[in-house]
Amino acid sequence: MTYELYYWDGIPGRGEFVRLALEQAGADYVDVARTDGGMARMMAMMKNKTAGVAPLAPPFLRDGEFLVSHAANILLYLGNRLGLAPEDEAGRITAHGLQLTITDFVAEIHDTHHPIGVSLYYEDQKDEALRRAENFLEERLPKFLGYFERQLTKNSHRQVHALGGTLTYVDLSLFHLVEGLRYAFPGAMTAAEPDYPLLVALNAQVSHLPRIKAYLASERRLAFNEQGIFRHYPELDRS
């Protein structure tokens, strides 16, 4: 069965956390919104006109008759099916908890450029964005990165992993977090990275996984840009 991933075309965004898991597993999937007529299909599925629970926003995943929304929830669903999650229940729930922390972090990263309103332009909230980004870089970035670094410290021996001794979808998501933060805040990240050697090592380790390496070099991988979650506005960064 082919998995159907639904996410906005043109940005890596929250869809990328799911894409990385599907790619690493070599899963058969289609990025629906990037196909002919796919965007219209995605919009129709959010209109809530059919039986069952419609998603409010992408990403969502269709597996046959089953529809799963929210990036972390999709990864909980896919984790064992793709061999990218602990097999025991305690491990699965712990992985999900880490992924939900990533969800919280992603929302705060988004709010650095949209602190007032999701539907407003960045240009309409620049002053507030400056204050928000300053606070984010001062307090929230070290809080979240420090938390993940400590988690990696507990689990890393020869290889770096967030959980147990094997690769999970959490590792792939942490890779994407570091990629996105490097794009959005290159100055702040250059200064911060020496404090998070295991996150940096995990990022390199994931980038060398053969399937991830091939994916990153492919047309399936979308570049970061100023429409997505991770946006680079030099005025929000630190030099």
Ligand X SMILES: N[C@@H](CCC(=O)N[C@@H](CS)C(=O)NCC(=O)O)C(=O)O
Q: Which residues bind ligand X (CB under 6 A)?
A: 13-14, 57-59, 70-71, 103, 118
Output the smallest distance, CB 121 to ligand X, in A: 15
- Residues 43, 141: Cα–Cα separation, whole Å: 34
CA 126, CA 14: separation in Å to the nearest integer? 23
In the complex, the smallest distance separating the C-beta of residue 102 from ligand X, rounded to whole angstroms, is: 9
Among 15, 3, 46, smallest CA distance to 220 is for: 15
**Which one, 47 or 157, has the nearer CB to ligand X?**
47
Q: Which is nearer to ligand X, 104 or 195 (CB)?
A: 104
Q: Where are the beta strands (DSSP E) in the chain?
A: 3-6, 29-31, 60-63, 66-69
Q: How far is CA 65 from the centre of its chain?
A: 25
| Closest residue to ligand X: CB criterion | 57
Residue placing its CB nearer to ligand X in the complex, 59 or 86:
59
Q: How far apart are CA 61 and CA 81, in angstroms?
A: 14
Q: Are 31 and 2 in contact (CB under 8 A)?
A: no
- For the bound state, the minimum distance from the C-beta of residue 238 to ligand X, rounded and expressed in Å, comes to 25
Closer to ligand X at the Cβ: 100 or 130?
Answer: 100
Cβ distance to ligand X smaller for residue 4 or 198: 4
Shortest Cβ 78–ligand X spacing (Å): 13
Half-sphere exposure of 10 (CA within 13 A, CB side): 7
5 close to 67: Cβ distance less than 8 angstroms: no
Q: Which residue has the tokens 């039986």?
A: 51
Taking the complex as a whole, the smallest distance from the CB of residue 16 to ligand X amounts, in Å, to 10
